[in-house]
Structure 1
Amino acid sequence: MAPEIITLQLGSYANYVGAHFWNLQDEAIATGQQEDWSNMAASIDHEVFCSWSEDGKGRVSYAPRTVVLDFSGALGGVSFSPDAAEAVAACMAAGSWSGPVQVHSTRRAAKSSFRQQLEAAAEADEGDEAAAAAQQAALEAAALALHQEQQPKYWTDYLQVDLHPSTVLTLPGVWQGSSAWHGWGPAPDSSSSREAAEAAADRVRWWAEQCDRLQGLQVLADDLGGWGGVGRSIVQELREEYASQPLLYFSLQQQQQQQQQQQQQAAANTNSSSSSRRQLSQCMSVAEVTQLASLYVPLVAPASTAGSSSNFQAAALLAAAIDTATLPLRCNSAHAAAGAALGSTDLHSLCHLLAGPAANLAALSLQLPPGELPSSTPEAASQQDTSSSSGALLSLSGSSSSSYLLTDGVQLGPEQCLAESLTLRGARVSAASLACSSQAKAALDALLLQRQRDTIGHPCVSHSCISPMPVALPLSFPHWLGSAAATAAAPAASSGSSSSAAGVRVPLLSRPGMAAAAAPGALSRLTATASFEGMLAGLSSSMRRLVPSGQGRACLDEWGYSVGDTEELQERLLQLAQRYDSDKGL
């Protein structure tokens, strides 16, 4: 039995990311049952993030081991609790009230076409091949409609997995757009904050009681979108109860223009501008959460990313990065034809590696797909340079068009690297051929050795994980995936797979029977970097400038912080920056 991890999702944007993350897990489980995927999929232990159950027919199903918090009305047409009519009927049956009853309700939001087709597919007759083919075609058409919409209204519109109903919580009476739930969020001692923290902690305990060997907690938090104070309260309570367990915290930030649009109404009702609110929220998140989390990873989709203005598309990029960066936590020693996964680790070791050199902050980058592996012979290398379908070979420079630096305000240059965890999955030796684990390891080790030679005097402790398992992309994965992935996959893709022209971004859809060689690989780098010094110093400067202003003071009063509290947090930011100062020991 693999050591388990419990995930918390706090806020709407975190749930956009979480929906993509669980879709990726679900697709990996499903494709693992296909013949050409099964050998590679055996090296991934899905029980780390998911619980499983078996029905009377011996069929095994998996459910995300997660706790979800969101606003009222944020679940769209999907219900995780009895509706109003059922609740009224239950009250009447109880006989506690004999008077008249009036029910006032609004029309429930309609389920997306994609969700409807998913449910229809689950109920379809598996023995009728013609009906199954027609249902699959309808499902693919609904998925394409999601991509064309660019921005599904709710994260449940594209969620492919079933969540346990008792672990999905909405805040009663608190709706999306509430003026108090923007930026860092309402004061921790507000009634809604206390209720949310207590309910979330109870659900985590419920999951923990079912775990045989709990190895830690993973938090996806929209802490710049109103959930910062609540998230801090939840994490603080959990740290008291699970003090020995590591906690990996992903601070998920929307693009600034998106968040400013959402905060315009809130800013109009207060004395603070959306820009000041965002800057102070970033300061609060880093200063508060780094005191509680084992590792703090701030993430935002780059503004240059195609589709970054859409939560649906930007969240997919962040989810793919988190999925790959946490793959070492799910790898096992099972041997496959392409070789066993190498470099598996646990959450405690991962956090200890990256938090050890300075402070407990890490940056994340993703290459999707990475370049092909360099050839081992000069003759083949010369031919590879001219025939590589993606036009690039595997590199740590992050300069390719498929590379994304997902932590704002830092650099991942070799001179700044203090410690790093790299994950290379689904590496290729050519457009139509996946590499085995030993080939991928040799290529990555060679790159790390060359970097070490080029940066003598700047040691970086590196951990690497190699998995032959590529990224199994679900139908709902959006358009932003670059043409390099689709082009590389095209020669081996099944006849139903989509292709792309140069420079055109199209979805690469997973389908039943899709060849594993058609799926893209990925390279993630989770890095402790000395360039956090500049980011932290900038946050401290922003806080020093904004706190005395009327706009800043209005924000902090709303969030429940006194002048003394803010001085302590500003000092905390300065101390964190000094820990990355090369003149003081690094």
Structure 2
Amino acid sequence: MREVISISASHRANHVLTQFYNGQEQLLQATNNVNEPGVFLNPVVDRISKTVSYSPRALLWDARNGVGSLGLHEYETGHDYYFDPDRKPEEATQKGVQVIQTHQRIPKSEYQTAIDSNGRLPELTDANTKYWSDYTKLVFGSSNLSSLKDWYHNVEDPSLPDFQDQNQAYFNNYEVGYNEFKSNYSTEFLDEKFHWQLESCDGLQGINLVSELDNGWGGFSSSLLLEVRDELPKTDIITWGFNKDDALTLQKPVRSSKTNFDLICNKIRSTISLVRDSELFFPLYSNPQQSLWQSAGAATLLFDAVNSVSSNRVPEDRVLFGQIVAMLTQGETRQNVVSQLEADNIDFSFYSRIPKVKTTGEKVFNKLVISRDSTSVVKEPWMLKSYEWQPSDTIPMDYRANTKYTTNLAVTEQPRDVFKSWFDLVSRYFRYDSDREELKEELGTLASEYEHGWYDDDESGDDC
């Protein structure tokens, strides 16, 4: 078995993995056995009852309280903890246990209550999916979950945890996030959570890392990835990074009140780090018009399609992470930013929102097409086919109507425009930053990797 471990860092990223693993649970119920469940799920055999249970090969990071009503040990046996959703802390009956309530209890969602009681599942909406745990189907236990110690979930802005729940400092800086993981979690995470997942694998084929780039989670995931890369220098890692609109996409002055200068600073530093330590980097767009539940449901169209080929039960259609990397880079390891990201005719790429320097004749270095129609005929070496999508009922209706869609991935010259624009921003506005020259050198090198043909650089020097 060639397994895949998925790591998410941020509340938004956890919604994506929740939707993906709900889909894996859906495939367990299927009668046609289209995939190998052990690639993404860890099977545990109970020899007494002769049954098999599955747990996700996943590691989710969130702020404190970000798991919602889910108790870390809710579905585990043992008596070294206190958990009773229907009993008040002061009514604890276990002897020798002192219960300290640190925050108001978050009530269990109607959806989770229905699952636990085998009742009728309610319709999901933006209102009842505020937390990813509100609608998760597979059990994420203590071995899957990690929380920040001093940063609390911010209901008003889930991407920016609140320090000590004081409404004074937020998780909105690359350096803060980077140092948070490096100083407080690195050893514990690797020795306990990560190694436990590795030991459950027979032969790891790759890792998905899903995060956000505009805030402290970008620095956090950069530091995490650096440690993972040191542990597994030859493992293929695909990084999925969510980006919010900024001065470039909004075409507003950098110092405008409508743009956040710190946001783009975080994005630049996070992208450089994650591109450097990943085999493939997917820059995703965070649509502000969608809830996290809707956004994750849409993103699963892309995420599930890319991952489906690596667990395909049909041997001749199975394509591992390393082969996907090879098809999209053709050995050019520095050309690893996949700027075209389309699934079911939806454009998920953040880079496509940034104005182009060349409006015609964009160079496509390498491309990959994944058809989810198993009856399709592969006519080109860059075409793959996978099994028909079987979406979970937790996916918003708009994104589960078409189960035979096509996914288009491509490495184009568009990253050149992005990195060149960022180079100009660093040159103009990073006057006193200690890493200014290092960032300029990195961005200049990255931009050159995607250059093709002739450019009028005067156009990219305008103040945006």
Superposition TM-score, scaled by structure 2 size: 0.80
Select 2:96's aligned residue among 92, 95, 99. Answer: 92
Q: Answer whether contact 1:198 1:234 (CA < 8 A) is retained.
A: no
Instruction: Give the superposition deviation at 1:523.
Output: 1.1
Instruction: Give the superposition deviation at 1:274.
Output: 5.9
Q: 1:200 to 1:254 in 2, by over 3 A?
A: farther
Q: Equivalent residue of 1:27, what SS?
A: helix
Instruction: Give the superposition deviation at 1:70.
Output: 0.5
Q: Give the corresponding residue for 1:379.
A: none
Q: Answer whether contact 2:244 2:287 (CA < 8 A) is retained.
A: no
Partners of 1:186 and 1:316 lie apart in 2 by 30
Q: Answer whether contact 2:246 2:264 (CA < 8 A) is retained.
A: no
Select 1:245's aligned residue among 235, 240, 244. Answer: 235
Q: Equivalent residue of 1:188, what SS?
A: helix
Q: Give the corresponding residue for 2:69.
A: 77
Count of residues in correspondence between the two structures: 411
Partners of 2:436 and 2:291 lie apart in 1 by 33
Q: Equivalent residue of 2:20, what SS?
A: helix
Q: Equivalent residue of 2:276, what SS?
A: coil
Q: 1:118 to 1:413 in 2, by over 3 A?
A: farther
Q: Give the corresponding residue for 1:367.
A: 343
Indicate whether 1:406 and 2:348 are aligned: yes
Indicate whether 1:199 and 2:179 are aligned: no
Q: Equivalent residue of 1:423, what SS?
A: strand
Partners of 2:382 and 2:63 lie apart in 1 by 39
Partners of 1:364 and 1:50 lie apart in 2 by 29
Select 1:477's aligned residue among 390, 395, 401. Answer: 395
Partners of 1:293 and 1:54 lie apart in 2 by 34
Alignment of 1:439-458 (within 5 A): 440-441=376-377, 445=379
Q: Equivalent residue of 1:582, what SS?
A: coil
Partners of 2:246 and 2:23 lie apart in 1 by 26
Q: Equivalent residue of 2:62, what SS?
A: strand
Partners of 1:414 and 1:116 lie apart in 2 by 54
Select 1:119's aligned residue among 116, 119, 122. Answer: 116
Instruction: Give the superposition deviation at 1:277.
Output: 1.6
Q: Give the corresponding residue for 2:368.
A: 421
Partners of 2:286 and 2:219 lie apart in 1 by 23
Q: Equivalent residue of 2:7, what SS?
A: strand
Q: Answer whether contact 1:185 1:227 (CA < 8 A) is retained.
A: no
Indicate whether 1:574 and 2:444 are aligned: yes
Q: Answer whether contact 2:426 2:439 (CA < 8 A) is retained.
A: no
Partners of 1:116 and 1:279 lie apart in 2 by 41
Alignment of 1:379-398 (within 5 A): none
Q: Answer whether contact 2:218 2:267 (CA < 8 A) is retained.
A: no
Q: Answer whether contact 2:416 2:448 (CA < 8 A) is retained.
A: yes
Select 1:333's aligned residue among 292, 297, 314. Answer: 314
Partners of 2:95 and 2:340 lie apart in 1 by 50
Instruction: Give the superposition deviation at 1:17.
Output: 1.1
Indicate whether 1:278 and 2:278 are aligned: no
Q: Equivalent residue of 2:196, what SS?
A: helix
Partners of 1:364 and 1:528 lie apart in 2 by 7
Alignment of 1:123-202 (within 5 A): 135=119, 138-139=120-121, 142=122, 144=123, 146-147=124-125, 149=127, 152-176=129-153, 177-178=161-162, 179-184=169-174, 186=176, 188-190=178-180, 193-202=182-191
Instruction: Give the superposition deviation at 1:476.
Output: 1.2
Q: Answer whether contact 1:188 1:229 (CA < 8 A) is retained.
A: yes
Q: Answer whether contact 1:187 1:229 (CA < 8 A) is retained.
A: yes
Instruction: Give the superposition deviation at 1:103.
Output: 3.4
Partners of 2:452 and 2:200 lie apart in 1 by 45
Instruction: Give the superposition deviation at 1:198.
Output: 3.0
Q: Give the corresponding residue for 1:349.
A: 323
Partners of 2:297 and 2:230 lie apart in 1 by 33
Q: Give the corresponding residue for 1:506.
A: none
Partners of 1:351 and 1:232 lie apart in 2 by 20
Partners of 2:296 and 2:236 lie apart in 1 by 25
Q: 1:333 to 1:89 in 2, by over 3 A?
A: same
Tell me which amino acid in the other structure corresponds to 1:111. Answer: K
Superposition TM-score, scaled by structure 1 size: 0.64
1:270-313: per-residue Cα shift (whole Å, max 9, x none)?
xx98611221122112211111111111111557xxxx421110
Q: Give the corresponding residue for 1:532.
A: 415
Q: 1:545 to 1:465 in 2, by over 3 A?
A: same
Q: Answer whether contact 1:544 1:570 (CA < 8 A) is retained.
A: yes
Partners of 1:473 and 1:189 lie apart in 2 by 38
- Please provide the CA RMSD for this pair: 3.0
Q: Give the corresponding residue for 2:385.
A: 466
Instruction: Give the superposition deviation at 1:413.
Output: 8.8
Q: Equivalent residue of 1:243, what SS?
A: coil
Indicate whether 1:24 and 2:61 are aligned: no
Partners of 1:14 and 1:475 lie apart in 2 by 19
Partners of 2:407 and 2:82 lie apart in 1 by 42
Instruction: Give the superposition deviation at 1:254.
Output: 4.7
Partners of 1:174 and 1:90 lie apart in 2 by 30
Structure having the larger proportion of residues in helix: 1
Indicate whether 1:51 and 2:51 are aligned: no
Q: 1:582 to 1:22 in 2, by over 3 A?
A: same
| Stretches (4+) displaced over 4 A | 83-86, 88-91, 254-257, 411-415
* Identical amino acids, percent of aligned pairs: 18
- When structure 1 is superposed on structure 2, of 104-113 and 13-22 the one drifting more is 104-113
Indicate whether 1:208 and 2:198 are aligned: yes
Tell me which amino acid in the other structure corresponds to 1:535. Answer: V
Q: 1:285 to 1:106 in 2, by over 3 A?
A: closer
Partners of 2:422 and 2:287 lie apart in 1 by 19
Q: Answer whether contact 2:363 2:452 (CA < 8 A) is retained.
A: no
Partners of 2:189 and 2:151 lie apart in 1 by 16
Q: 1:571 to 1:90 in 2, by over 3 A?
A: farther
Structure 1 unaligned blocks of 5 or more = 94-100, 122-134, 261-271, 335-341, 369-402, 428-435, 449-461, 487-518, 554-561
Q: Answer whether contact 1:196 1:230 (CA < 8 A) is retained.
A: no
